[in-house]
Chain A
Amino acid sequence: MTTSLLNRRSLLAGGGYVMATGVSTLMAPARAEGLAPTLSMPGGSNNYHPGAPIVDRIGKGGFLMSGTVRRAGDGAPLAGQRIQMWAHTTEGYENQERSHGATLTDENGVFRLEIPQIIPAFGQPHGHFAYDSGAFKTVFLRIILTMWPATHLEGHFVLQPA
């Protein structure tokens, strides 16, 4: 007769362990530091609509999406880069046209765009950022708000030549 190695205790302990490590992963701030290129995140392109228009703000605004765009290698800021953003907000679902918009980076490679308040959806409140303009390799980010309620989310890009 065999004895089950996977008993109740080990299951609970395993669950607790992964719960603890899982939570700490979620707590880690999303960053794209250094000169290595930013890689697309899993689920980053979900509900993406190519070619979102450049707008002053999405809907009535109130929630700040911001970040930086730099070049892989030397880290030089990239001006005039188009960043697209979308999220589930008080004004619409991710897959609705009115939840999408884009803006350009300034001379310091910084972009800022107000969107409506992000609302928890699909388990965690999150926002999407995309670079998909061709000159550099496409990058899709899906960044989780580690604290909620919050009114600010950052997405940072280090781009490599296409």
Chain B
Amino acid sequence: MRSVRPILIWTALTAALAVPIAFAATSPLLAWRDPVYITAGLAGVVGLALLLVQPLLIGGYLPGPSAYRTRRLHRWIGGLLVAAVVIHVGALWITSPQDVIDVFLFQSPTPFSVWGVVALAAVFAAALLAALRRRLRLRPRTWRISHASLAAVTVVGTVVHAILIVGTMETVSKAALCGLVLAATTKVITDLRLWPKRSAAR
């Protein structure tokens, strides 16, 4: 039993990530998009998928690597996530600059894009906090609460952003991935007991 469990967990994770990406990568809509626009969309999908890996890593839910390794991996994937967001927005900018400028001026007619901006700001701030961890000299608890709060905002913003979009992602696999991302984030924040109970707060 003990030897089967890790295989099952890794298989399930691979499927949870690969299925929505595969659907998006083979969407019929791609026929009417050029490579830059296709890259923009897929970078967004990959970013959403990475949001599932992050809480699983830092919560130590994935069998195999040591705590030290999972933390390093979490940092690495955080970097990839920022890169995915930069590619996503950059390629959209090349495709239709006016639409992207509207989004950042909060003048966009599309509500989903505002959620994207919120998630972008939160993920950049979370990454900055991680990069400057030593230099900031925050109390470990303060740092954790700040980083986890920003991560939670990133997740909620991204999930709402993704759900509202009619695009290359297939609806059911998109909803499933979003559900898993929310569940994993909720679980890790609960398990890490970042927030003290109200009665113990004072």
Contacts and interface: CB of A to CB of B under 8 A. Distances in A.
Contacts of A123: 110, 112-113, 164-167
Contacts of B29: 119-120
Contacts, number: 94
A42 B96 contact: no
Interface in B92-117: 92, 95-96, 98-99, 102, 107-113, 115
A148 B167 CA distance: 11
B109 A142 contact: yes
Interface string A67-102: 000000000000000000000111001110000000
Interface stretch (B52-60, B81-89, B152-160): B152-160
B32 interface: yes
B32 A122 contact: no
Decide if the interface of chain B is mainly helix, strand, loop or mixed: helix
A12 B115 CA distance: 13
A124 B149 contact: no
B122 to A, nearest CB: 11
25 contacts: A1-B201, A3-B198, A8-B152, A8-B189, A8-B190, A15-B159, A22-B111, A22-B112, A26-B111, A26-B164, A41-B109, A42-B102, A42-B109, A43-B102, A43-B108, A43-B110, A46-B98, A90-B31, A119-B29, A121-B37, A123-B112, A124-B110, A124-B112, A124-B166, A144-B109
Interface of B: 29, 31-34, 37, 92, 95-96, 98-99, 102, 107-113, 115, 145, 149, 152-153, 156-157, 159-160, 163-167, 182, 186, 189-190, 195, 198, 201-202
A125 B115 CA distance: 18
A119 B168 CA distance: 11
A1 B198 CA distance: 11
B96 A46 contact: yes
B32 A119 contact: yes
A41 B198 CA distance: 46
Given A8-B189, A43-B102, A94-B96, A122 B110 contact: yes
A142 B182 CA distance: 33
Interface in A5-55: 6-8, 11-12, 14-15, 18-19, 22-23, 25-26, 41-44, 46-47
A23 B159 CA distance: 14
A8 B165 CA distance: 24
Given A18-B160, A42-B108, A4 B145 contact: yes
Interface residues of A, number: 38
A44 B107 CA distance: 11
B189 A46 contact: no
Nearest to A125: B166
B102 to A, nearest CB: 5
Contacts of A124: 110, 112, 165-166
A123 B167 CA distance: 6
B156 A12 contact: yes
Nearest to A119: B32
